[in-house]
Structures are given as structure tokens and as C-alpha cells.
């Protein structure tokens, strides 16, 4: 469902992604771990085309894009639009629209991007709010919700796009410890449903539980990748072993 090949991303002199290749098979969960600044968020942002890679190839669902130095490939609007309907991202800071109600947040993109009628979007929105246990707050505004509730609404908003792939960038890092589990529980449920997900997380126990594969990123390279058991127990990279033992 995701095939990234030789992705490179630079900010001026700084090569943030050096040559990243990564597959996420349909129905699989891949977690990305690594220290701060290793390029985890940049990689997710490239998958979502919030950032344009400088070179490499990216296939998401049925949409293939090639990026190159020579003639920097800027996907046209229609391609972007198609890709963005296949991928949804959940951010560390929830990023809910403060002036919209919970339901308003969830129905906005399905109406604007997918072209659903308001009535269709509401039916869909209520379904996914139910799914994350937030149906009873549909008319509430984000400021009146806990962080865990806001993040569950953000997950419902991502689901309402009915994407082929879900991206999560440290979805629980901004939460008070007692709110982490309600969000991890929702993500775990989505994994059990067989959704295709790429997840950046510092929750090692969770990554281990939920992932088919774990990738350890170091200075813009995938330094170790494999099953959770491999990455957490028998990694060949000394840096990966150190990282895992330091956060465990
Ligand atoms: P963290 O765990 O702290 O979230 P990360 O692995 O997600 O870190 P990135 O946010 O991908 O790391 O950043 C990787 C590197 O790229 C860092 O050195 C960062 O300063 C740099 N960087 C990220 N975004 C930009 C930008 N828009 N302009 C310039 N440099 C950037
Ligand atoms: Mg990050």
C-alpha cells in the first residue's frame, strides 16, 4: 500500500532524508522509531506530500509519483488531490479547527475534498465518532475536550476521509500520561481491523504489540528494519540496540 524508494529530502545544506526505502504492505502496521531529529516526521510529511521529496519514488495505493533533481517533479493538483484522498495523517498536536464543533471538524474534509453532501458527511462523521467513542460530544468545541478526547476526534476526522493509509506522528506525545491509553486503544483497534498504518511513536511497548515491522531511523537513513522481535532484541546496529535500551 506504500512503496517508498530512495527518498531524499534536503533543507538547504541539511540532508534530512538520505536514501529512504520503506514498504508498508496492505493491512500492515509499520512503526518508525529513532531519536529526535532523525527525520521521522519529515518522512511522514513526504508520504503525505506536505513536503516534496527532492528525489525518489513514492507509490501510495494506486498513485505513483516520481521526484527527480533534473526536473523537479511537482505533482499537479489533480494528482495531489487523488493522493490526499488516499492518505490521512494524525498529528502530535491534534490540529483540530477551534472554531468548528467536533462534528464540524469531522465532516469538513469529506465535504470539501471528497465532495460529499452535508447529509452524507454527517452520517459518515457520526459513524466514525461512534467508532472512537466520541459520539456524545459531537456538538462540543475542541477547547472543552481533554487532549485524549481531542486526539480521538482527530482520528475520527482522519477516518472520515476513508483513506487507504493512515499516518500517525507521535499521536500520544502531547498527552498527559493518564490519557495515553485511551488513544493507543483506538489505534490498536484500527490495527486489529487490518488498516494500513505508518506510525511514529516513542511508545516502545505499543510499537512492539501492534507492528508487523519496526524501522529504526538514524540521521535520515533506515538503519535497522525488521519484526519487532528483531529490532527490539537482535538488532545488528549497535546504535539501534542502544536506542531501544535507552527508551525501554
Ligand atoms: P522529533 O523526534 O524531535 O520529532 P524527527 O525525527 O521527527 O524528530 P524531523 O522533524 O523530521 O525529525 O527533523 C529532522 C531534521 O530536519 C532536524 O534536524 C530538523 O531540524 C530538520 N528540519 C525539519 N523540518 C525542517 C524545515 N522545515 N526546515 C529546515 N529544517 C527542518
Ligand atoms: Mg517528529
Give me ligand 1 centre to Cα 101, in Å: 32
Q: What is the pLDDT of residue 63?
A: 84
Q: Does the beta carbon of 220 sit less than 6 angstroms from any atom of ligand 1?
A: no
Output phi, psi for 154, to 5 deg: -65, -35
Q: What is the pLDDT of residue 73?
A: 55
- Whole-angstrom Cα distance, residue 90 to residue 50? 13
Q: What is the pLDDT of residue 154?
A: 98
Taking CA atoms, 193 is separated from 171, 196, 248, in Å, by 19, 9, 27
Residue nearest to atom 1 of ligand 1 (CA): 36
- Torsion over CA: 155, 50, 172, 147 (sign): negative
pTM: 0.94
Question: In the chain, pLDDT over 70 holds for what percent of residues?
Answer: 97
- Whole-angstrom Cα distance, residue 60 to residue 4? 8
Q: What is the mean pLDDT of each run of 10 residues along the chain (248 residues)?
A: 94 95 96 96 93 91 79 68 87 95 97 94 97 97 97 97 96 95 97 97 95 97 97 96 90
Residue nearest to atom 20 of ligand 1 (CA): 37
- Cell output for 55: 528525489
Give me ligand 2 centre to Cα 169, in Å: 7
Amino acid at each position: 500500500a506504500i512503496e517508498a524508494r530512495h527518498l531524499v529530502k534536503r533543507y538547504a545544506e541539511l540532508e534530512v532524508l538520505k536514501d529512504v526505502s520503506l514498504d508498508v504492505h496492505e493491512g500492515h502496521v509499520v512503526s518508525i522509531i529513532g531519536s529526535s531529529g532523525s527525520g521521522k516526521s519529515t518522512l511522514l510529511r513526504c508520504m503525505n506530500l506536505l513536503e516534496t521529496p527532492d528525489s525518489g519514488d513514492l507509490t501510495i495505493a494506486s498513485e505513483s509519483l516520481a521526484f527527480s533533481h533534473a526536473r523537479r517533479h511537482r505533482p499537479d493538483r489533480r494528482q495531489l488531490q487523488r493522493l490526499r484522498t488516499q492518505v490521512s495523517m494524525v498529528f502530535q498536536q491534534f490540529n483540530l479547527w477551534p472554531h468548528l464543533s467536533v462534528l464540524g471538524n469531522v465532516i469538513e474534509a469529506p465535504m470539501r475534498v471528497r465532495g460529499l453532501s452535508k447529509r452524507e458527511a454527517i452520517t459518515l462523521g457520526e459513524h466514525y465518532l461512534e467508532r472512537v467513542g466520541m459520539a456524545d460530544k459531537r456538538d462540543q468545541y475542541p477547547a472543552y475536550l481533554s487532549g485524549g478526547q481531542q486526539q480521538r476526534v482527530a482520528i475520527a476526522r482522519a477516518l472520515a476521509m476513508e483513506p487507504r493509509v493512515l499516518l500517525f506522528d507521535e499521536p500520544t506525545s502531547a498527552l498527559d500520561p493518564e490519557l495515553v491509553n485511551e488513544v493507543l486503544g483506538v489505534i490498536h483497534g484500527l490495527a486489529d481491523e487490518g488498516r494500513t498504518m505508518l506510525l511514529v511513536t516513542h511508545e516502545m511497548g505499543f510499537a512492539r504489540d501492534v507492528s508487523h515491522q519496526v524501522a529504526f531511523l538514524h540521521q535520515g537513513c533506515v538503519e535497522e528494519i525488521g519484526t519487532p522481535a528483531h529490532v527490539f532484541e537482535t538488532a545488528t546496529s549497535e546504535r539501534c540496540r542502544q536506542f531501544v535500551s535507552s527508551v525501554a
